[in-house]
Structure 1
Amino acid sequence: MNEMTEPGYHYAVMRRAIERIDAAGGAALSLDDLAAEMNMSPAHFQRLFSRWVGVSPKRYQQYLTLGHARALMRERFTTLEAADAVGLSGSGRLHDLFVRWEAMSPGEFARRGAGLTIAYGFFPSPFGEALAMGTDKGLCGLAFTDETGREAALADMTARWPEARVVEAPERLAPLVEAAFAQKGEARLHLIGGPFQIKVWEALLGVPSGQVTTYSEIARAVGHPTAVRAVGTAVGRNPISWLIPCHRALRKSGGLGGYHWGLPVKRAMLAWEAARADARA
């Protein structure tokens, strides 16, 4: 089997490894023990892990310590500028992935998805099973099911656009999902939300990978500096997790804050991005 052409296998190994490292709660795990739990030789596991993350399993464990979020706030805090973060430029870059988005008009949002056909499917990902949803314009939803289960995640997402026609058609979404998690190529997004929500999501797209910001910084970036609570709500309602990086929004204190699909997923995403950023430096 060629792991580089078998994303299901590749992601399943990474998900299990991340879960195991996260469950250790900061305790060091040896390469031999981790590899044995993945049913691999130490050399093969280290090679596969390092290819995906960019650093060794030992180095990666340091990014999942309880103090990692506070370290990010000290060392990689981003001050968002409204002109840059909410410029309606329609493009952004996440590593080697080019993200192009189109926002729904307020009138379309008011119709609650009426006239839209939304395809959905379940896919393996490095952060657990993902539920992907999309229109003919691009991905409009990306959720993670490990904490909630498939049925609850699908009900949560479809309730956001109650008048839309929802059909199971994973083949329509597979190329976009593969690009999203392989971090190469282009991912098209269709932002379906209210005007304020879309401004917040666009601001999130302005936070570079490997860096973090705060809810108050996002509020300033969208021109509503006192609306921190409303910003937090909009961040929590982000329908396209990972690609619209709500996981990069932290509390001023350096606390992780919440995450709609589970804090273990948020920790893994932040650790993955920080490790990749350091590997590229």
Structure 2
Amino acid sequence: MNEQDQINYYRIATAINYIQKHFRSQPTLEEIAEAVHLSPFHFQRLFTEWAGVSPKKFLQYISVEYAKDILKEKKATLIDAVQETGLSGTGRLHDLFVNVEGMTPGEFKNGGEHLAINYSYAESPFGHILVASTTKGICYMVFIQNEHEAFEDLKRHFPKAHFRQITDRIQQNALHIFSSDWNKLDEIKLHLKGTDFQLKVWKTLLQIPLGSLSTYGEIAEKIQNPNASRAVGTAIGSNPVAFLIPCHRVIQATGAIGGYMWNPIRKTAIIGWEAARLSPDFLTTN
């Protein structure tokens, strides 16, 4: 990510944080722009380029407060809340994740011994990322601040693997997920290192469609272990593949966004960005 892109991303993140803190007062475009030290015209243009919709539309998509009000109704479900806030679900993306393979017991226990892992750095709408792959699929993808530190983390995850800095076809295909034309994507493959329970949770996350949200309790129900909400949260927090395994689509039962290992502001930004790509405004202009 070049310096200007990084500045722009953090300006948008700051704007989203400002909107969340001042939601009840319905801040104007001028107020939000002032918070990020931009003119209203420049801010409107930058935000629209980044999100595909105006700041006003984006605010509607991340309106968690409205979702909370809907959830107070006894018969309302989280899905009702999501649909009412304009985040109608679609299976366009999760159907692409049809091949999730866990590593063999030997690979898992031996820290990736004999595994050849390619890795590279890339840009995304949400910051710089490191993406790594084996011959079977993506094994690691994280948002990063420092390339050297990120690579050291990758090595700790697979301490006995052999690494090569190269961008391969598997990585390129996965990175197309940030494109708006998802129909051109080939099947995305994941090669994951985790316990049976973790793999089960991560596979369940892949069933949450773009634009929809779920809760920790609902994930526990889906894996037929309704009392395991805390363990589900731990497994989600161990997700080794950012964005592709959409742990950002899991929020608290109250409707609050909740935590995210790569920054809760980034989580909110991703939720809004995905919702914007489902809006008629975006789909008719892209």
- Could you say which TM-score interval applies, normalised by the shorter chain? 0.7 to 0.9
Question: Tell me, which stretches of 5 or more residues in structure 1 are unaligned?
Answer: 1-6, 80-91
Change (3 A) 1:14 1:115: same
* 8 Å CA contact 1:204, 1:245 repeated in 2: yes
Q: Aligned residue for 1:21?
A: 15
Deviation at 1:176, TM superposition (A): 2.4
In structure 2, the partner of 1:167 is: 164
The aligned counterpart of 1:243 is 244
**Counterpart position of 2:260:** 259
Distance 1:43 1:150, change over 3 A: closer
Tell me which moved more, 154-163 or 114-123: 154-163
Q: Which position in structure 2 is the counterpart of 1:182?
A: 179
Bigger mean CA deviation after superposition, 36-45 or 164-173: 36-45
CA distance in 1, matches of 2:57, 2:170: 34
Aligned residue number for residue 110 of structure 1: 109
Residues 243 and 31 of structure 1, relative CA distance in 2, 3 Å threshold:
farther
123-132 or 156-165, which moves further after superposition? 156-165
Q: CA RMSD in A?
A: 3.7
TM-score (norm 1): 0.74
Question: What secondary structure sits across from 1:206 in the alignment?
Answer: coil
Instruction: Report which stretch shifted further, 243-252 or 57-66.
Output: 57-66
Q: What is the DSSP-based 3-state SS (H/G/I as helix, E as strand, rest coil) of the residue aligned with 1:189?
A: strand
Matches for 1:168-247 after TM superposition, within 5 Å:
168-170=165-167, 174-183=171-180, 184=182, 185-186=185-186, 187-247=188-248
Q: Which runs of 5+ in 2 are unaligned?
A: 81-90
Counterpart in the other structure of 1:67: 65
Count, aligned residues:
257
TM-score, normalization by structure 2: 0.73
CA contact (8 A) 2:68 2:255 kept: yes
1:190 Cα deviation after fit: 1.8
- Please list the CA deviations of residues 212-232 of structure 1 after superposition, one character each: whole Å capped at 9, or x if unmatched: 111111112112222222111
Distance change >3 Å, CA 231–CA 23, structure 1 → 2: closer
Read off the aligned partner of 2:175 and give its amino acid letter.
E
Q: Could you tell me how far apart the structure 1 residues matched to 2:122 and 2:113 are?
A: 26
Distance (whole Å) between structure 2 residues aligned to residue 73 and residue 135 of structure 1: 42
**Aligned: 1:275 with 2:269:** no
Q: Please give the per-residue CA displacement for 1:51-91, whole angstroms capped at 9, x wherever unaligned.
A: xx342232113445673774796787249xxxxxxxxxxxx
* Cα shift at 1:193: 1.7
Which of 151, 154, 159 aligns to 2:151? It is 154
SS of the equivalent of 2:141 reads strand
Change (3 A) 1:36 1:142: same
Partners of 2:158 and 2:71 in 1: how far apart? 35
C-alpha contact (below 8 Å) 1:93/1:99 kept by paired residues: no
- Cα shift readout 1:89-124 (whole Å, capped 9, x = no counterpart): xxx7428x8334331245232332111111112111
* Alpha-carbon contact 1:219-1:231 (below 8 Å) kept: yes
1:61 counterpart letter in structure 2: L
Q: 1:11 to 1:193 in 2, by over 3 A?
A: farther
Larger mean Cα displacement after TM superposition, 179-188 or 262-271: 179-188
Measured against aligned partners, the alpha-carbon deviations of 1:12-63 in whole angstroms (never above 9, x if no partner) come to 68635522422434443349959994998688657634xxx34223211344
1:77-88 pair list within 5 angstroms: 77-78=78-79
Given that residues 139 and 176 in structure 1 are in contact (C-alpha distance below 8 angstroms), is that contact kept between their aligned partners in structure 2?
A: no
